[in-house]
Amino acid sequence: MTPVLTARKLHRSFRRHRLLGPDYVTPAVRGVDLEVEPGECLGIVGESGCGKSTLGRLLLGLLPTDSGTVTCLGNQLGDLSKADMRRLRAKMALVHQNPLGALDPRRPVGDQIAEPLLIHRHLGYASQSARAARKEAVLRAVALDPVLADRYPHRLSGGQRQRVVLARALITEPELLVLDEPVSALDVSVQAQILGLLKKLKAESGAGLVFISHDLRVVRQLADRVAVMYRGQIVEQGSTEAVLDTPRHPYTRLLRGAVPSLVPGHRVKSESRAIDAFPEAGCSFAPRCEQARVGCRTEFPVLSSCGGSHSVACLYAPAREEIAR
Amino acid sequence: MTGYFLRRTLRAVITLWVAVTFFFFLLRVDVNIGLLALNMNASQEAIDSFNTRWGFDKSLLDQYWLWITGALQGDFGYSFRDARPAADWVAERLPKTLELSLAGFALMIVIGVPAGLAAAIRNGTATDRTIMSLAAAGYSLPSFVLGLALMYTFAVYLQLLPSTGSTSFAHLILPAATYGLTGSAGIARFTRAAMLEVLGKPYIAAARASGAPPAAVVLRHAVPNAAIPVVTMLGFSVGQLVGHAVIVETVFAWPGLGQALISAVANRDLAVVQVLVVVFATFMIGANLLVDILYGVLDPRIRTAGGANG
């Protein structure tokens, strides 16, 4: 199968101009490679500020890359004309973290759900009735009462709003869906409902999903594969089970330890050694790494296979047997 | 919606009453009106007979009762100077002030809003910087300075337009331009700020991400949302229109309410000052009421907060 999305060596940094002295440069994404197959969900996890959301925006072409290429459905994003790019957007959708912010407060949600059909005339929903029928279908797909379509966003609950945002994303039948922390703003019980809905959509739509989250438990429920990001780089990638059950990278293990466990006596490791500056050479995780050795400070670890599709960017990644314990 | 409207109107009426009452007492408390209205050399008998004639020897509450009952029937007392009803002053001069201020206001919107929109849409470009520099200049320039500059250029130097008076449409151009240009600077800055805030919202990013062309994003999502604060700002300017006209009217010798207020204060013409206070307060409060009502129309969130169903 051809992937719906391929990213090669993506780089993006943010520059803040200073009046005196050199500009502040914050590298947000550094050399990311990834692929998403149709019907597959790739989870991207990492702490806040690691570049997850920037990566999501790069993948959708909402933010220009400094270097590297994104290919979506056979189109290289930078090469398209503005009109072609807008046309392609019907096939690639974004679900934003904060559903209230993502909805226009001044328009009934039903109008907003149907708006992409008005934007993308080429999809063929020319008549009012065709659009209404499609809207009905998509409302049913996200299990939202059609009565609510006449309401304004502020009169819906958080879960209902996220269903609206999903419905708006789905109405053009996209083949790529980037979900940026789609459940973080929701209560746990509502989270479960939305996750259930996303699972169903994933199975039924056949679209490729990029699921960005800081919450490993949520990612585990939905993702087929997981990429762990640290400071703009993918440090570990592989099937969800492989990465989350037998993590090879010290950072992944730290992340997993940060999830509060319900098992009594299971200790939660804290992240106390936050360090701001990027190391000039070597592994960027080295300053925080408990297993860092001399070589980590000088040599850059490349993401390489450590068994099948599982790959890790660590010079001294422990063997599988050591982790199993 | 009806409940919202009624509540707001009632509140406006009460506010007007409070403001007018406050000024009634402020103008009279501990002041010998006769002494003020006549001159310092007037005899005690003359002052006493003046106060008796105009009813200033009565208690304040009695005076207030007479005034407010009269005012409700359209009788705002008489001018000390020419003994004509004070309300006549308003009737004579209000149309002139409205003519000037509405022309200025229209100009203010026609210039200010598009300039602000353009600056926001072209944020950070030369267009933005040019518009904002002009706005900053216009904002800092007092209207009488601009008025005199325009008068010198177009009336004295080029001799294209009359400098003062109010007898023809040509007379209106310079005062209205002075008024509109100074006002539009603030409107442009405010419109730009409101637009920039809205353009930074996630729902704008969402609209762009769904492939909406830039014009559709601006017209369908950004402008309607940015309109809420801009309309508020414009509404408040409506309230200040009449008061603001004072300066421009003085520069161009425009015979409106502003000039009337200045001469009434100079002449200690109490009834005229009082009726003008009523007019200015009515404009201000009326404008606020208008803003509140427009708010309800523009912002669905307010509508729900105010009404039983939305």
3-state secondary structure chain B: CHHHHHHHHHHHHHHHHHHHHHHHHHHHCCCCHHHHHCCCCCCHHHHHHHHHHHCCCCCHHHHHHHHHHHHHCCCCCECCCCCCEHHHHHHHHHHHHHHHHHHHHHHHHHHHHHHHHHHHHCCCCHHHHHHHHHHHHHHHCCHHHHHHHHHHHHHHHCCCCCCCCCCCHHHHHHHHHHHHHHHHHHHHHHHHHHHHHHHCCHHHHHHHHCCCCHHHHHHHHHHHHHHHHHHHHHHHHHHHHHHHHHHHHHHCCCCCHHHHHHHHHHCCCHHHHHHHHHHHHHHHHHHHHHHHHHHHHHCHHHHHHHCCCC
Res. B50 pLDDT band, cuts 50 70 90: confident
pLDDT at B165: 81
Residue B308 has pLDDT above 50, yes or no: no
Terminal Cα-to-Cα distance of chain A (whole angstroms): 37
- Among chain B residues, CA nearest to A59: B209
- Residues A298-315 have a mean pLDDT of 86
As to burial, measured by CB atoms within 10 angstroms (0-12 exposed, 13-18 middle, 19+ buried), residue B240 is middle
* A54: chain B residues, CB-CB within 8 Å: none
Q: Mean pLDDT over residues A48-57, rounded?
A: 88
Q: Which residue of B has its CA nearest to A108?
A: B300
Q: List the domain range (segments joined by +) for residue B187.
A: 92-302
| Domain shared by B133 and B282, yes or no | yes
Q: Is the pLDDT of residue B310 over 60?
A: no
Q: Determine whether the interchain pair A106/B224 forms a contact, defined as Cβ–Cβ distance below 8 Å.
A: yes
Task: Tell me: pLDDT of B121 over 90.
Answer: yes
Q: What pLDDT digit, counting tens, does each position of B66-92 carry?
A: 899 988 888 888 888 788 888 888 888
Q: For residue A58, give the amino acid letter.
A: L
Shared-domain flag, residues B1 and B126:
no
| pLDDT computed for residue A262 by the predictor | 58
- What is the pLDDT, as a whole number, of residue B304? 56
Distance, CA of A190 to CA of A192 (rounded, Å):
5
- Interchain contact, A119 vs B201, CB within 8 Å: no
Q: Which residues of A touch B210 (CB under 8 A)?
A: 89-90, 93, 115-116, 119, 168-169, 172
pLDDT of residue A137: 92
pLDDT (tens digit, 9 = 90+) per residue, A183-213? 888 888 888 888 999 998 888 888 999 999 9
Across the interface, whether the CB atoms of B206 and A94 are under 8 A apart is answered: yes
Which chain A residues have a beta carbon less than 8 Å from that of B202?
96, 98, 101-102
> 């602000």: which residue's tokens?
B116
Q: Would you say residue B307 lies in a domain? A: no
Q: Is residue B310 part of a domain?
A: no
Say whether A152 and B301 touch across the interface (CB within 8 A): yes
* Contact between residue B33 and residue B51 where contact means Cβ atoms under 8 Å apart: yes
Residue ending a domain, among B87, B105, B124, is: B87
Q: Are residues B242 and B170 in the same domain?
A: yes
Q: Is there a contact between B203 and A154 if contact means CB atoms under 8 Å apart?
A: no
Whole-number average pLDDT of chain A:
86
- B246 and B138 share one domain: yes
Question: How distant is the Cα of B216 from the closest Cα of chain A, in angstroms?
Answer: 9
- How far does A51 lie from chain B, in Å, by closest CA? 18
Using CA atoms, how far apart are residues A95 and A142, in angstroms rounded to an integer?
13
Q: Find, in chain B, the residue whose alpha carbon is nearest to that of A151.
A: B310
Same domain, B28 and B133: no
The pTM is what? Answer: 0.79
SS (H, E, C) B92-128: HHHHHHHHHHHHHHHHHHHHHHHHHHHHHHCCCCHHH
Judge if B18 and B66 occupy the same domain. yes
Residue B62 lies in a domain: yes
Q: Do B209 and A89 touch (CB under 8 A)?
A: yes
The CA distance from B61 to the nearest CA of chain A, in Å, is 50
User: Where among B39, B56, B87 does a domain terminate?
Assistant: B87
pLDDT in tens, A210-251: 999 988 889 999 999 999 999 889 999 999 999 998 888 888
Residue B225, chain A, CB below 8 Å: the answer is yes
Q: What's the confidence (pLDDT) of residue A55?
A: 93
CA-CA-CA-CA torsion sign (B184, B189, B194, B199):
positive
SS3 A33: strand
Question: How close B303 gets to chain A, by Cα (Å)?
Answer: 11
Select the residue of B211, B216, B300 nearest A152 (Cβ to Cβ): B300
Q: What is the mean pLDDT of residues A303-323?
A: 78
Strand-pair category, A233-239 with A41-45: unpaired
Residue A264 has pLDDT above 60, yes or no: no
Q: Do B211 and A119 touch (CB under 8 A)?
A: yes
Q: Please indicate, yes or no, whether residues B235 and B103 belong to a single structural domain of this protein.
A: yes
Q: What is the pLDDT of residues B3-43, one digit of tens each?
A: 878 888 999 999 999 999 998 998 887 677 777 777 777 78
B197 vs A: CB within 8 A? no
What is the phi/psi pair of residue A132, to 5°?
-60, -40
Q: Do B115 and B195 fall within a single domain?
A: yes
What integer pLDDT is reported at residue A213 of this predicted model? 92
CATH annotation of A5-236: 3.40.50.300
B224 in contact with A at a CB cutoff of 8 Å? yes
Of B61, B87, B113, the residue at which a domain comes to its end is: B87
H helices present in chain A, as ranges: 52-59, 82-88, 109-119, 128-141, 158-170, 188-205, 216-222, 240-245, 250-258, 320-324
CB distance from B113 to chain A under 8 Å? no
Region B288-296: mean pLDDT is 83
Residue B306: its pLDDT value, please?
41
The full set of domain ranges for chain A reads: 5-236
Residue B158: give its domain's CATH number.
1.10.3720.10
Q: Does residue B158 share a domain with residue B16? A: no
Task: Describe the crossing of helices B223-251 and B169-199 by its angle, rounded to 10 degrees.
Answer: 150
For the segment A254-278, the average pLDDT, to the nearest whole number, is 59
- A·B CB contacts under 8 A: 75
Sort out which chain A residues have CB atoms less than 8 A from B304's CB and list them: 152, 154-155
**Contacting residues of B for A168, CB less than 8 Å apart:** 206, 210
Residues A133-158, mean pLDDT to the nearest whole number? 91
User: What is the number of structural domains in chain B?
Assistant: 2
- C-beta atoms of B206 and A120 within 8 A: no
Contact B225 A116 (CB under 8 A): no
Q: Which of B242, B237, B232 is nearest to B282 (CA)?
A: B242
Q: Are residues B6 and B63 in the same domain?
A: yes
* Other residues' Cβ atoms within 10 Å of the Cβ of residue A261: 11
Mean pLDDT of B196-220: 92
pLDDT digits (tens, 9 = 90+) for B266-288: 888 888 989 998 998 998 898 88
Query: B280 and B213 in one domain?
Result: yes
Are residues B211 and A120, on separate chains, in Cβ contact within 8 Å?
A: yes
Contact B219/A at CB under 8 A: no
pLDDT greater than 60 at residue B134: yes
